[in-house]
Each structure stands twice: as structure tokens, then as C-alpha cells.
Amino acid sequence: MSIQLQIDATDGPARVGRLTLPHGVVETPVFMPVGTVASVKGVPQDVLEELGVQILLNNTYHLYLRPGVETIRRIGGLHRFMSWDRSILTDSGGFQVFSLNELRKVSEEGVTFRSHLDGSSHFFSPESAMAAQIGLGADIIMAFDECTEYPADRERARSSMEMTLRWAERSKKYFEQHKSEVPWADQTQSLFGIVQGGMDLKLRRESALRTVEIGFPGYAIGGLSVGEPRELTREIVESTLEHLPADKPRYLMGVGTPEEIAEYARMGVDMMDCVLPTRAARHGLLFTLKVKVYMKQTQYAQDEGPLDPQCGCRVCGRYSRAYLRHLYASNELLAQVLNTVHNVAYYLDTMRAVRHSIQLGERARFLSERCGPNP
Amino acid sequence: MSIQLQIDATDGPARVGRLTLPHGVVETPVFMPVGTVASVKGVPQDVLEELGVQILLNNTYHLYLRPGVETIRRIGGLHRFMSWDRSILTDSGGFQVFSLNELRKVSEEGVTFRSHLDGSSHFFSPESAMAAQIGLGADIIMAFDECTEYPADRERARSSMEMTLRWAERSKKYFEQHKSEVPWADQTQSLFGIVQGGMDLKLRRESALRTVEIGFPGYAIGGLSVGEPRELTREIVESTLEHLPADKPRYLMGVGTPEEIAEYARMGVDMMDCVLPTRAARHGLLFTLKVKVYMKQTQYAQDEGPLDPQCGCRVCGRYSRAYLRHLYASNELLAQVLNTVHNVAYYLDTMRAVRHSIQLGERARFLSERCGPNP
């Protein structure tokens, strides 16, 4: 078995589990930091390990363009290439093709797009996206989908969803024929299907049911966080989850704030990824338990306290806000490094707390009502 | 005593010693990485500790402009500000004022200059440079000097040297009156004098003798690496060292390549600093025992070997040249971080090897001649 989900505790729709993959066990619900080109920007791999990162996301589109799939495949796949022996998930490249390419041309066959690096022309089909992901060798790979733009009318959302379903079949077919070609051999990867359907609950339901019918070892909800209001995201996530099998991992792509990832986990999502913690860190926005800290604010220039007194990360344990603010104001490399370490720690701590609260579950609520601070 | 040099072994003019400072013992000869604005660009302090960095250099000019001396003084000085409890040396600001300011105005009183950040006007005198360095609170601080430009005729080099001597007296006088104001109290800092004199051996000799006459607990050789040929640098260092007292630390400012720092240490220099390892790292130039590795070269794109097979640093222990080349080619933050860690490790290893060879000294050469590989 190249993937196995064991559910250890549930609390309403939420669940805590262990997802066993070829490169280790992942505790779910899990947040996957984004390592676009096989690096979480500014953070060495040993620090990621120390933070407790169990699975990373890498972007197929970026790695396909540079250094190229063949370079990574020859070296033995992403794990060896980036010296990371824990789990990795790659996206299908679909989202980047749609978000970074205004000149893309979509047909039934696939998508023609131009490199954002040098303008060269490239083509992704379900088959070539699978070939790329097999060559990269992540533990979990994603079916090639069309991320429906927002807003889209019902007709457009339906036809896009239908194409994603046809592409899912082609992705699965190619994967089944070629899965033994993964560079690390003795086990195989796991291919997840992606639910689309725009912002239409009925289409989402249909997409979920028909994707499940095709049959994958895990399912993702794609096409969200594309500009729609957050309340709508929440509604679609909640209703889509109902149609996904409880014994398979459920992955919500590209979300969200710390509050949102906690909320989605409580709804029953098992896996999430987002560039927010790492990108915000580089722009001087730091998440803490009480407030968001914007490092550009001068109020921190004399602040000797730690960034987040309740955080146990190596940044909060060692440096003052005054120093971090100085590094940021001076545009120092170390600002981006330390800020990223903290934000990733904060996201992982958030998920630890969520897992803990799910494990405590109903019993804890009963006890806290009976034995709380005001008995 | 706020400074003490114990010489443990000598080999010709070279010596190995231990320099005891308020924030710890420094093994000499030592290379001091440059942490311009209280950060070695891209490297967290715990990694510097792990690399064995015992003393850092910070730049007074940069810190005076941002975040400002008062901010750092109020927090308790540089050690607390940057969370680094090992030793620190600050330069006087003189070199940056001369190298970064084309519009500076030098008078007997001091130097008027414009901030490279916002163009604002500032004034450094020996007294204000001392006040700034006392407020920053490094273990070792430097007299305010004029770095004579290259080339300079004899008349110009003499008058510049004479002013540096007068400034040295003023620096010492101010320091003696105010040294108790250091933010960390119970011990005091140590003020080093700086030998100038351009490229003239006689002036250098005179500058050394007269600086020693003023009397400092350590002496630096300044005004080199300003564009002169390396052979000339070497000649001036060698001849100046003869006129510096053997029982005081000797600091050669702003040099050099790994080969050069080893050579200067063999001449009897105890302390050196240089931006080369850190700056070169950010530009993809890596020092290894056999070759210089230019990361922009495509030959490394498929190279699975470590950067330097003979280096024990965490970068060489974990990552391949192919990965480091990919990070560099992708302009990833992590390239600058990892490259800097390696180059600093390489410089520190070079100094460790030099200390070891001095300790082995004549005896080792005798033994290796008698018992070498071809007996």
C-alpha cells in the first residue's frame, strides 16, 4: 500500500488521523508549507524538520521549467534532489498555468502556455502533467485539472467541470500505466482527484460524486480562494466534504489564514496548503496568538519583548521584536529567514492545537462545562 | 582586565593565543565574519554559534544610521540587541564614511558626511565616534581614523597619518573619560589604535611607533585593501608588524582571500575581518579546498556530489551541488543562506588549520621531513 489513512479520533465531522505514505507518516489534519521550487523560501531543510514539518508541497509548473523534470528524475526524484526524506506532494501544474499565464490556450487536449521565465512555449496535457509528476517523484501527485476562473456563469462552470472530469480519467489512465516509473522504485505514488464546479453547490456535488466514481485514493477540493468571498468558500467546502468518502484523505487546496485552516480542519478537511505564512513573512506580516504583527510599524522599534510570548519557536525564544523590526526595516536577508521560520511554526502549532482539540473532543467539552473556571 | 592575550605557541613570527574579552575567549589567529547591521547576512545566530564563530564585526556607520545608537544602547548594547553573547568588535565608522561618501568634508575637527540611506547630513569626530561605539557596547572598539586613499603622494599620506595620530589621542582621551558608560557595566571595552601611513614603509613605521607611544591594548593595521597590488599589501603588513608589540593583539583590517588570511596569520597577525566570504556567497562564489565553485556555471546542474567533500559544514553534509546550483539559478533566498553558511565555515576552518599548523610548528616540520611518505 502506498497510502493508508487511519482515523484515530473524531469530533463531529472533524477527524484526527495518520496518513502513511512512502516517505513517512503524516499526522492529520496537516498544513503543508509551500516549497515552490523545492525550497521553502529561506528555510533550510533541517529547520523544517525541527519545526515538525511532515509533508511539503512543491510546484510542478515551476520545477518543470527549472531545473526541469529530467534533472530531478536522474538524481532520484525530489526527495534526493532537495535532501528531504519526509513526504512531498506536488500539484499538477494546472493552477500555475492558469494563474501565471494570460496567453494560455486551453483545448480538450491540454493547455499551451508560455514560460513566465523566458516566454518559451510549452504544453501540458493530463498525460504530460502525470509524466512530469512521476518523474519528480512526490509521494502524492494531483490529477491535471482546469481551475475554473471566478466569476464564471453556470454554463462555463459546467463545461469546465466536465473537462476536468475527462482529464481526471486520462490522468488516472496514464498514471496506472506508468506509475512504476517513479524514480524511487519499490513503492508507487498516490494520485488524488480534484473536485471542481465553480461556486455552484450542485455542480460541486456532481463533480465530487463523479470524481469519486472514477476512484482515487484521496480527493482534493480545488478552484477555491480564487477571489470569491470567504463565506462562499466556507459554504462550498462544507457541502463538498459531505460527498467525499470518509475513509479517504480530503485535501483543500490553497487555503488560508490560521483561523480558516483551523475552521476547515474542524469541518473534516485533512490536508491544506497555502503560500500565506511564507509570503506574508517575507512582507513582514507575522502571525501571533494575540495580534498580527506588521513589522513595518515603528511601534516595534523599541519593543524588547519576544515576537509571540506564547510561541516556542527558535525565533520567539531568542530575538526581540526590536531586532526583528530592525532586520526588516534594513531589508536584511535574515528578516525573511526568521519571519518565515516563525510563521511556519505558527501554522504548524495551529494544526497541533486543532488535532489536540479534536482528540479531546466531546469529553473535554463536557468536562470544561462541569469543571471550568466558574463551577 | 577587559582584555588579555595569552600566547600559547609560536612558530617564527606566527602565534596561537587566547584573547580573553568581556564576552568570552577568542582563539587567535581569528577570522571575524562581518555582520554589518548586527546580522551576518542570512545566517541566524545559532548557526553562527554552531560554526564556531567567537567574535563578530559590526559596522558603527551603518548601525549609527539605522536603527541608531540610542535604540541599541537602551536595549543594553549590541549583544542583547542581536542576541549574541559572544564577543563583538565595532569599527570606528571611518572606513565607511570614506568609502560610501563621495561628498564627505574632512576637517581637523572631524568628517561631515551624508547618509547613503536618505541623504541626511551627519558629523563624526573622534569624540562622537567613541560615543557611538560606547553606546553600541562591543567588546573591542576602534579609534577614529582617516583611511588614506590610494594612490596618495607622500605629502598627502604624511598629513593624513598625522591627523589619524591626533584623532587617536582624542579617541583615547574621550574613551578614558567615558568608558564607564558602556551599557553592560561591570567591565569596560578595549579601544584599539589604528596604524595608517599609506603605502610608504617609513610612514607606516612612524605611524606604528607613535600609535604605540599613545598606548592601546591592541593595534590594527588600517588603510590596506584599498586598491593597491596584493604584493604591496603583503610587504606593508610584514614590515608594520615588526613595529607592533608582541604582547598585544594585532588586527589586520579588511582582508582577504582564504590564502591571504592564512598567509597573514603566518606573519603574526592575530585578527582579521573581511566581507569576502559573505559577499561572495551571495554572488554564488563558493570557496572549497580544491577549487572555487562559481554557482552560475552550468556544469554543476547535474552534479550530485557535495559542494566540498572535505568540508564538515551542514551544507556540504546535506546538499548536492546540483541543488545548490538550482537554488542559485532560481534566485532563491536559500541559496544565499546556504552559500554564506558554507563560506563562513570555510574561513573558520582555514583559521583552525592555521592555528593547528602553528601549534605543531617546527617539531611537525622536523618530523614530516624525517618520517614523511618517502622515508
Chain A contact for B364 (CB, 8 A cutoff): no
Q: Which pTM does this prediction carry? A: 0.96
At A103 the pLDDT is: 79
Chain B contact for A39 (CB, 8 A cutoff): yes
ipTM of the complex: 0.96
Task: Express each pLDDT in B46-78 by its tens digit.
Answer: 999 999 999 999 999 999 999 999 999 999 999
pLDDT at A375 over 60: no
Task: Express each pLDDT in A202-241 by its tens digit.
Answer: 999 999 999 999 999 999 999 999 999 999 999 999 999 9
Enumerate residues 6+ apart whose C-beta is below 8 A from A117. Answer: A65, A66
Spatial distance between the Cα atoms of A40 and B334, rounded to a whole number of angstroms: 8
A247 is catalytic: no
What b-and-e string marks burial along A110-135, b requiring 16 or more CB atoms within 10 Å of the CB?
A: bbbbbeeeeeeebebbbbbbbbbbbb
Pairing of strands A121-124, A111-114: antiparallel
Roughly how many angstroms between the first and final C-alpha of chain B, as a whole number?
A: 50
Spatial distance between the Cα atoms of B120 and B122, rounded to a whole number of angstroms: 7
Query: Which of A5-9, A283-287, A369-373, B109-113 comes out lowest in average pLDDT?
Result: A369-373
Q: Angle B333-371/B258-267 helices, nearest 10 degrees?
A: 50
Task: Express each pLDDT in B211-225 by its tens digit.
Answer: 999 999 999 999 999
Verify whether the Cβ–Cβ distance B326 to A37 is below 8 Å. yes
CA nearest B91: which of B155, B162, B170, B145?
B145
Q: Summarize the confidence of residues A19-44 as an average pLDDT.
A: 98
CA nearest A190: which of A163, A171, A206?
A171
At B366 the pLDDT is: 65
Q: What is the dihedral sign for C-alpha A236, A241, A243, A249? A: positive
Nearest CA in chain B to A81: B323
Verify whether the Cβ–Cβ distance B332 to A39 is below 8 Å. yes
Verify whether the Cβ–Cβ distance B44 to A334 is below 8 Å. yes
pLDDT at A151 over 90: yes
Spatial distance between the Cα atoms of A285 and A347, rounded to a whole number of angstroms: 13
Q: Would you place residue B90 in the very low, low, confident or very high pLDDT band (cuts 50, 70, 90)? A: very high
B200 is catalytic: no
At A206 the pLDDT is: 98
Q: 3-state DSSP call for residue B331?
A: coil
Three cell numbers at A113? 502556455
Query: Which of A27-31, A225-229, B70-74, B371-375 comes out lowest in average pLDDT?
Result: B371-375
Nearest CA in chain B to A314: B46
Task: Say which amino acid occupies A143.
Answer: A
What distances in angstroms separate CA A249 from CA A17, A192, A216, one per listed residue?
9, 9, 10
At B370 the pLDDT is: 67
In the set B11, B200, B270, B273, the catalytic residue is B273
Average pLDDT, chain A: 95
What b-and-e string marks burial along B109-119, b requiring 16 or more CB atoms within 10 Å of the CB?
A: ebbbbbeeeee
What distances in angstroms separate CA B191 from CA A118, A268, B9, B169, B216, one per listed residue?
54, 64, 25, 11, 7
Q: Summarize the confidence of residues A248-277 as an average pLDDT.
A: 97
Q: Angle A126-136/A154-178 helices, nearest 10 degrees?
A: 50
> Quick one: chain B helix, strand, coil %, rounded to 5?
45, 20, 35
Enumerate residues 6+ apart whose C-beta is below 8 A from A219. Answer: A192, A193, A194, A195, A208, A211, A212, A244, A245, A248, A249, A250, A251
pLDDT at B311 over 70: yes
pLDDT at A133 over 70: yes
Give the distance from residue B110's alpha carbon to the nearest chain A alpha carbon, in angstroms: 27
* Three-class secondary structure assignment of chain A: CCCEEEEEEEECCEEEEEEEECCEEEEECEEEEECCCCCCCCCCHHHHHHHCCCEEEECHHHHHHCCCHHHHHHHCCHHHHHCCCCEEEECCCHHHHHHHCCCCEECCCCEEEECCCCCCEEEECHHHHHHHHHHHCCCEEECCCCCCCCCCCHHHHHHHHHHHHHHHHHHHHHHHHHHHHCCCCCCCCEEEEEECCCCCHHHHHHHHHHHHHHCCCCEEECCCCCCCCHHHHHHHHHHHHCCCCCCCCEEECCCCCHHHHHHHHHHCCCEEEECHHHHHHHCCEEECCCCEEECCCHHHCCCCCECCCCCCCCCCCCCEHHHHHHHHHCCCHHHHHHHHHHHHHHHHHHHHHHHHHHHHHHHHHHHHHHHCCCC
Residues of B in contact with A42 (CB under 8 A): 42, 333-334, 337
Three cell numbers at A345? 511554526
What distances in angstroms separate CA A121 from CA A111, A147, B330, one per listed residue?
11, 20, 19
At B313 the pLDDT is: 97
Verify whether the Cβ–Cβ distance B45 to A318 is below 8 Å. yes
Spatial distance between the Cα atoms of B101 and B65, rounded to a whole number of angstroms: 14
Average pLDDT, chain B: 95
Verify whether the Cβ–Cβ distance A39 to B327 is below 8 Å. yes
Percent of chain A with pLDDT over 90: 92
Q: Summarize the confidence of residues A70-90 as an average pLDDT.
A: 98
pLDDT at B372 over 60: no
CA nearest A343: which of A286, A295, A260?
A286
What b-and-e string marks burial along A67-79, b requiring 16 or more CB atoms within 10 Å of the CB?
A: bebebbbebebbb
Chain B contact for A13 (CB, 8 A cutoff): no
* Adjacent-strand bridge partners of B251: B220, B271
pLDDT at A335 over 90: yes
